[in-house]
Amino acid sequence: MDSARILIVDDDPDITEAMKVVLESNGYRVDSATDSEQAMELVKSTKPDLIIMDVIMNTLREGFLLSRQLKDNPRYKHIPILMISAAKEKIGIDFKPAAGDEQWLPVEDFLDKPVMPDVLLEKVSSLLQES
């Protein structure tokens, strides 16, 4: 999808900048937010084609809550969400098998941090083609 708009939601500016550089150098338009409140404002104003979201931001559950909020809203539930997290490394919990569970983790895919650029681009391309 040419010039697809992607929203990155992550409270780590280094991670956000690294993903932004990779995505923009491959022709994507990228916006970023550091929390769910900023993210919802950007979703409303920019209408992203894809959202890349961290799990743990201001709270341990912020990413979960935001993904549910988006998927429960008829205006935004069509937007694919790629969730990323270092939770497996930091707290020993592997969320990947739960991706796609509409009640618990309503996201289209999940990647563990750190994400290699080629893996990120492959997932983004795949999710955009499916949507």
The number of residues in the chain equals 131
Residue 115's CATH number? 3.40.50.2300
Q: What is the pLDDT of residue 97?
A: 46
Two structure tokens written together for 74? 């008829």
Per-residue pLDDT of the chain (131 residues; tens, 9 = 90+): 458 999 999 999 999 999 999 999 999 999 999 999 999 999 999 999 999 999 888 887 888 899 999 999 999 999 999 999 875 455 545 454 445 555 546 789 989 888 999 999 999 999 999 87
Distance CA 79, CA 82 (A): 10
Range of the structural domain that residue 120 is part of: 5-130
- What DSSP character marks residue 105? B
Q: What is the CA radius of gyration of the chain?
A: 13
Q: What is the pLDDT of residue 101?
A: 52
Number of domains the chain is built from: 1
Q: Give the pTM.
A: 0.87
Distance CA 87, CA 71 (A): 22
**How many other C-beta atoms can be found within 10 angstroms of the C-beta atom of residue 60?**
11
Beta strands 81-85; 50-54: pairing state: parallel
Distance CA 30, CA 95 (A): 25
